[in-house]
Amino acid sequence: MTEQPSASSESQRIQMPLFYNRVFSLDPARDRGLRLASAPTAAFARQTSLIPLLANEFGAALADYPIVFTSGATVDAVAVVGIKTDENLFVDADGRWKAGCYVPAYVRRYPFIFIDLPDSDSSALGYDPDSTLIGPDQDVPLFDGDQPTDATRQALSFCATFRNEARTGAAFVKAIVEAGVLTEKAAQISLSNGAQARADGFQVVDEEKLGRLPDDQLLDWQRKGWLALIYAHLFSLHRWPELVARSLA
């Protein structure tokens, strides 16, 4: 769904982010019969331990999850939702997110996504056609004739805002990576059956390295709100014991 809104009729395959099997651009000619589930499920997020997190979500997410940074060539901020790589301790067997816990925007965005159309300067609202949340047998229509419904407009607005916030967050992550304040970390966890689990492959901000940065750089980060993000991240690390306790329940 484009911002005007009108959509390209060509289905586009892109490199798949987490949760997405395929991505098509929403097309009123082809997709006018599609409907959205009125009672969304988070079952699609049941088998992942890390959920991408926008920087502006740190304040809400820190009450429930450790917030860490991934390792490797691409560094992202993520909420840790499980001890094992294929578990999400906040999604139950019925696909419901744990009541009272913050649901990351990345989860709330699915099955929609904002995409750039190849060979074009246009952006479009895309969707995963394999998602159980969308299909002809669901409840909420996405089109009224060839016009988008309120549900479609809301999805477009949400995804556009998500992408803008992701770009802002990427600038923050890039800055702390380039400043060299991240350090590799691992957590050794004792499970109820006596087995040991190790959570690794993530990074945290090293407070000593942070304190050695030049004053003018720290002042610049404070003005940008980045120091607040760093301290939210550090405070969130106190959620590890609660996460382990949840895994043992």
The model's pLDDT over 181-206, given as tens digits with 9 standing for 90+, comes to 999 987 666 655 665 666 677 999 99
* Sign of the dihedral defined by the CA atoms of residues 106, 111, 114, 117, in that order: positive
Mean pLDDT of 149-170: 96
Smallest CA-to-CA distance from 127 within 29, 35, 5 is with 35
The region of weakest confidence among 20-29, 115-124, 190-199 is 190-199
Mean pLDDT of 200-224: 95
Mean pLDDT of 31-41: 93
pLDDT, greater one: 113 or 247: 113
Mean pLDDT of 108-132: 90
- pLDDT score at 189: 65
For residue 236, name the pLDDT band (cuts at 50, 70, 90).
very high
Contacts of 194 (CB under 8 A, 6+ apart): none
194: left (phi over 0), alpha (psi -120 to 50) or beta: left
54-73, pLDDT tens digit by residue?
Answer: 999 999 999 999 999 999 88
Q: What percent of the chain has pLDDT over 70?
A: 89
- pLDDT score at 197: 62
User: What are the residues facing 52 on neighbouring strands?
Assistant: 78
Mean pLDDT of 29-33: 93
- pLDDT score at 21: 94
pLDDT, greater one: 23 or 198: 23
- pLDDT score at 7: 36
The region of weakest confidence among 41-45, 130-134, 212-216, 243-247 is 243-247
Counting Cβ atoms within 10 Å, is residue 244 exposed (0-12), middle (13-18) or buried (19+)? middle
- pLDDT score at 198: 65
